Amino acid sequence: MSTPRDASGPDTPPSRTAPTDPVPDRPAPPFHGRRIRAAIVGTGGIARGCHLPAFTALAAEGETEVVAAVDIDADAVKAFCAEAGIPHAYTDLDRMLAEVRPDVVAVCTPPTLHREQTVAALRAGAWVWCEKPPVPTLADFDAVEAEEGTDGGPYASIVFQHRFGSGSRHARRLIAERALGRPLVAHCQTTWYRDTAYYAVPWRGRWATEGGGPAMGHGIHQMDLLLDLLGPWSEVRAMAGRLVHDVETEDVTTALVRFENGAMATVVNSVLSPDEVSRIRIDCERATVELTHLYGHGNDNWRITPAPDVAEADAAAWRDFGADVPSSHLAQLRELVASMRAGERPRASGADGRTSLELITAIYKSAFTDTTVRAGEIGPGDPYYTALHGGAPGWAPATGTAETSEEIPA
């Protein structure tokens, strides 16, 4: 991607410490003996509030250093770098990648830019940590995955921080090991509230620029966590509506989802709900696991209710989540850095990162076509593979609507 160049970029490439190998006959692990060098693309709220603090925390532990930032707004990126002590500010992503050669790039721009910027970083040899939604379509996701390395990286991981932390890790283990018996019934709820002022921002509520409605932009975190806990889904039946807001996308979706393990779930995504909550509930044979929060969770947000015949000792063990590690960008970044150092594909990348986008695409297709959609059926040649609205009458942008992202700030 090319944007106007910023003279504040370095004149010569910074030096990179060559890894040393304590065992002469064995290749050194990736990034051995040095900090992982990071660049942040997009200097808006998500970069300032989540990505930069996560990198800063790991920098204090000797793991990372942020060496550059990129934004199309020269004043904004210079201010961002000055405040954070980042040495190199750029308005041109390609130039930054060529001159700074970062190890990992955090993509904090709107979804319509993610494919282009992620591919550029991968081609430059950098790993990528990309904000959700990952990309607007499955076609875009597959194009990104095709640019990944085949043996040891670089890989592109999606920010799905709700998967990470002690609570989700403990619940995932209990369900995977069938300690609670078979999962049977689930509910996934992202019921938030967005008023007319929210949609007065020109790029919101449009397929081309926001990527989708609450199913894509809001509920994706809880649906991704549900899939991480329950495993692959097999079929979905959905409805969508515009009940309040005058937008291209929906403002509410409901869906029934069947999983490969036989469990059945209801999924609700809404921006019409004054009593805001994010919730996942999974009823298993021996206990109910429930998470209730809003934008992030710790151990206290989880509750396990055993069936009447469960021994107290078993229930007590299930309720022991261990040391509290809240869900956060930091928790995910810590694991990503470990994967980079091991040369292993990180969680929330590749097929593992694609699964929630496939479910969201299927929800839209089911809702707009009034059909049941099965996992794996949306591929090249299907209109929903290249556009979440699928060209559906009443949902696709009106003829002549500009499908551009020019008015989206980085």
CA dist., res. 242 & res. 93, Å (int): 38
Write down the pLDDT at residue 398: 83
3 state SS of 26: coil
- DSSP 3-state of 179: coil
pTM: predicted TM-score of the whole model, two decimal places: 0.89
pLDDT (0 to 100) of residue 101 = 98
Q: Which residue has the tokens 């009443």?
A: 394
The pair phi, psi for residue 36, each rounded to 5°, is -85, 125
Helical H runs in 294-349?
312-318, 329-342
Let me know how long the chain is: 410
Q: List phi, psi (to 5°) of 334.
A: -60, -40
Q: Which residues of 205-215 are buried (b: 16+ CB within 10 A; e: fewer)?
A: bbbbbbbbbbb
pLDDT at residue number 16? 40
* pLDDT score recorded for residue 354: 97
Alpha-carbon span 121 to 104, nearest angstrom: 8
3-state helix, strand, coil in the chain (%, to 5): 35, 20, 45
Amino acid letter, 388: L
Distance CA 22, CA 25 (A): 9
Residue 151 is predicted with a pLDDT of: 87
Spatial separation of the C-alpha atoms in residues 363 and 344, rounded to whole Å: 31
pLDDT at position 8: 38
List the beta bridge partners of residue 64: 36
Please say whether the beta carbons of 153 and 338 come within 8 A.
no
Residue 25: what pLDDT? 58
Q: What is the pLDDT along the chain (410 residues), one digit of tens a residue?
A: 434 333 333 333 344 444 444 444 556 678 989 999 999 999 999 999 999 999 999 999 999 999 999 999 999 999 999 999 999 999 999 999 999 999 999 999 988 999 999 999 999 999 999 999 999 999 999 999 999 998 899 999 999 999 999 999 999 999 999 999 999 999 999 999 999 999 999 889 999 988 899 999 999 999 999 999 999 999 999 999 999 999 999 999 999 999 999 999 999 999 999 999 999 999 999 999 999 999 999 999 999 999 999 999 999 999 999 999 999 999 999 999 999 999 999 999 999 999 999 999 999 999 999 999 999 999 999 999 999 999 999 999 986 544 433 333 33
| Cα(62)–Cα(369) distance, integer angstroms | 52
Is residue 235 within 8 Å of 262, Cβ to Cβ?
no
Task: Tell me what pLDDT residue 403 has.
Answer: 41
- Tell me how far CA of residue 247 lies from CA of 214, 250, 268, 283, 395, in angstroms: 12, 7, 19, 36, 10
Cα distances (angstroms) measured from residue 401 to each of 20, 248, 404: 56, 10, 9
Prior bond to 27 cis, omega within 30?
Answer: no
